[in-house]
Amino acid sequence: MRLVFILGDQLTRGISSLDGIEPTRDVVLMVEVAAEATYVRHHKQKLVLVLSAMRHFADELRAEGITVDYVRLDDPDNLQDFTGELARAVARHRPEAVVVTHPGEWRVLQLMRGWAEGIGVPVEIREDDRFLCSPAEFARLTAAGKTGRMEYFYREMRRRTGLLMEGAKPLGGKWNFDAENRKALPRGHQGPQRKRFVPDALTAEVMALVEARFGDHFGRLDRFGWPVTRTEALLALDDFLTVLPAFGDWQDAMQAGEDFLYHALIAPALNIGLLTALEVAQAAEAEYHAGRAPLNAVEGFIRQVIGWREFVRGIYWTGMPGYAATNALNAVRPLPAFYWTGETRMRCLAEVIRGTRDNAYAHHIQRLMVTGNFALLAGIAPGQIEDWYLAVYADAFEWVELPNVHGMVAHADGGRLGSKPYAAAAAYIGRMSDYCRGCGYDAKARTGRNACPMNYLYWNFLITHQDRFGKNPRMALPYKALAAMGEGERAAIVSEAEGFFARIDGPEAPSGQLSLGV
């Protein structure tokens, strides 16, 4: 008899640990443990998503005749961590072996590697074959030169899957249509009504549990609408396909009050196993072939799913644990309290944090160019900003969150993920959103009483890291502009930035960002 241990982000019938399961003999183990809910204080919606999806998935397995030993969070005997619960289950079932699929987090892999010895049963850790590229293949593919960059890796994934290919050539004659995907929204644009799923009785029960046990975690629960079963996830994918034609043009655009726009809203479902990357990419491709979506939108979406998503996973598994320990820009500032309260005069940040609290969601550009950009410019310690992202987004699992934050946002990996830091001043935010129009700060001013902090922090960042980035050809333009500034203006920028840092680092800062004028 084998005990198949399924984790909360492995909720798919095709998961490798279930291969060859013998329902009359084997038992599936699923456990809800407080240690995993609290090692970072996850957003309440994320907890509901995972726990509700686990309970639904267990019911689906039982309906197939599979025995599921399911330990609930409020079970009085629950030891509340993976290792303790596995040991208890082994004592209950006395299996010959435990079978698991490789986890999504290096920390959990270390736990798993200790189980055989600690619990006294052989533990088989199977590869997670939901991905197109294994870590070993990734290491081989990206070993040298140009192929180490995402764009070349992505082309290889296109060739391998045949997606948007005409023989050996990319459909439309180009691999990448990104240049067409950076449009701003027209003023006052109204986004589409997106499909949200009304919680069923089981989800409602989990919501009550989460509110009772983790009520002080970040986030609102009353707006929960994530898909929690494969059937719902497929409906969410269908909903996305109806807005896919506009996804390309406006995937970088932001607008106050429009929390979802034309984005897929499928990452939570993908990351816990309710959908697979290949099926969503193929569904998008089919829209192109049916003449319902343009190539720039479909290519842009497919690149995110089979390019970026696979690439960051490869970076994570080939780089850990050393990858997370790097801090190339020596960033050490603590995370300002307004990341949790949203109380800041900076409207861009307040709006993205408000959406994050309401939905456990923000789209890519909001994460990268608003909360991420500020963290980069302010030199927030990578570990602190990573913990925040891991906690607040419903789709955040470390294999995908960490490289995006550590590499793309914080540039802490010294450029492994991106050859230049994603740093921007207010002009970028003003171009891609309507945030600046309603902001109390002056988006055009670099210095002075009401100058936008993104401006002086941006120039201060360039000054601080001139030795590292001054000769980077991709940063030639901003450094030319910096060189053209007079000494007086440079000094004023540094002094504005120092004053700002003193306010956010100060002893009163945690509860009083607004009153401090930040």
Ligand X SMILES: Cc1cc2nc3c(=O)[nH]c(=O)nc-3n(C[C@H](O)[C@H](O)[C@H](O)COP(=O)(O)OP(=O)(O)OC[C@H]3O[C@@H](n4cnc5c(N)ncnc54)[C@H](O)[C@@H]3O)c2cc1C
Name the residues that contact ligand SF4, by CB under 6 A: 346-348, 426, 429-430, 435-436, 439, 441, 443, 452, 454
Structure tokens at 478: 């901003």
217 binds, among ligand SF4, ligand X, none (CB under 5 to 8 A by kind): none
- Find the part of the chain contacting ligand X (CB under 6 A) among 201-209, 263-271, 327-335, 437-445: 263-271
Give the whole-angstrom CA distance, residue 176 versus residue 311. 16
71 binds, among ligand SF4, ligand X, none (CB under 5 to 8 A by kind): none
Structure tokens at 300: 């842009």
Quickly list DSSP for 343-405. --S-HHHHHHHHHHHHHS---HHHIIIIIHHHHHHHTB-HHHHHHHHHHH-TT--HHHHHIII
Among residues 351, 386, 395, 434, the one that binds ligand X under rule CB under 6 A: 395
Q: Is 264 in the site for ligand X (CB under 6 A)?
A: yes
Q: Is 308 in the site for ligand X (CB under 6 A)?
A: yes
Q: Please report the beta strands in 118-174, taking only residues with DSSP state E, as ranges in sequence order.
A: 123-126, 165-166, 169-170
Which positions from 405 to 424 touch ligand X by CB under 6 A, shown as an x/- string?
A: x--xx---------------
Q: Name the amino acid, one letter, at 233.
A: A
CB of 393 to ligand SF4, least distance (A): 21
308 binds, among ligand X, ligand SF4, none (CB under 5 to 8 A by kind): ligand X
CB of 476 to ligand SF4, least distance (A): 24
Q: Total binding residues for ligand X by CB under 6 A?
A: 28
Give buried/exposed letters for 161-200 (b at 16+ CB in 10 A, else e): bebbeeeeebbeeebbbbebbeebbeeeeebeebbbbebe
CB closer to ligand SF4 out of 66 and 426? 426
104 binds, among ligand SF4, ligand X, none (CB under 5 to 8 A by kind): none
DSSP assigned state of 437: G
Q: How far is CA 41 from CA 214, 340, 355, 385, in A?
A: 8, 11, 18, 13
Quickly list DSSP for 454-489. HHHHHHHHHHHTHHHHTT-GGGHHHHHHHHTS-HHH
As to burial, measured by CB atoms within 10 angstroms (0-12 exposed, 13-18 middle, 19+ buried), residue 216 is exposed
Which positions from 210 to 249 touch ligand X by CB under 6 A, shown as an x/- string?
A: ----------------------------------------
Distance of CA 362 to the CA centre of its chain: 9
Which residue from 16, 285, 237, 50 is spatially nearest to 134, judged by alpha carbons? 16
Q: Is 153 in the site for ligand X (CB under 6 A)?
A: no
Structure tokens at 443: 């988006």
429 binds, among ligand X, ligand SF4, none (CB under 5 to 8 A by kind): ligand SF4
CB closer to ligand SF4 out of 31 and 348? 348
Q: Is 263 in the site for ligand X (CB under 6 A)?
A: yes
Q: Is 378 in the site for ligand X (CB under 6 A)?
A: no
CB closer to ligand X out of 71 and 375? 375
Q: Is 496 in the site for ligand X (CB under 6 A)?
A: no
398 binds, among ligand X, ligand SF4, none (CB under 5 to 8 A by kind): none
346 binds, among ligand X, ligand SF4, none (CB under 5 to 8 A by kind): ligand SF4
Among residues 304, 356, 359, 373, the one that binds ligand X under rule CB under 6 A: 304
Q: Is 51 in the site for ligand X (CB under 6 A)?
A: no
Give the whole-angstrom CA distance, residue 382 versus residue 372. 11
In sequence order, the 6+-apart residues with CB closer than 8 A to the CB of 24 are none
- Find the part of the chain contacting ligand X (CB under 6 A) among 17-25, 97-105, 265-273, 504-512: 265-273
Q: Are 85 and 78 in contact (CB under 8 A)?
A: yes
Greatest pairwise CA separation for the chain in angstroms: 79
264 binds, among ligand X, ligand SF4, none (CB under 5 to 8 A by kind): ligand X
As to burial, measured by CB atoms within 10 angstroms (0-12 exposed, 13-18 middle, 19+ buried), residue 366 is buried
CB of 305 to ligand X, least distance (A): 5
Give the whole-angstrom CA distance, residue 454 versus residue 143. 37
Among residues 171, 266, 328, 518, the one that binds ligand X under rule CB under 6 A: 266
Q: Are 67 and 233 in contact (CB under 8 A)?
A: no
Helices and strands, number each (H, E), in the chain: 25, 7
In sequence order, the 6+-apart residues with CB closer than 8 A to the CB of 71 are 29, 30, 31, 32, 33, 78, 85, 88, 89
Among residues 265, 281, 284, 493, the one that binds ligand X under rule CB under 6 A: 265
CB of 336 to ligand SF4, least distance (A): 13
CB closer to ligand X out of 29 and 132? 132
Q: Is 504 in the site for ligand X (CB under 6 A)?
A: no
Pairing of strands 165-166, 169-170: antiparallel
- Find the part of the chain contacting ligand X (CB under 6 A) among 42-50, 81-89, 129-137, 364-372: 364-372
- Find the part of the chain contacting ligand X (CB under 6 A) among 14-22, 156-164, 328-336, 360-368: 360-368
CB of 364 to ligand X, least distance (A): 4
Q: Is 130 in the site for ligand X (CB under 6 A)?
A: no
Residues found near ligand X in the complex (CB under 6 A): 263-267, 270-271, 301, 304-305, 308-309, 312, 363-364, 367-368, 372, 389, 393, 395-396, 400-401, 404-405, 408-409
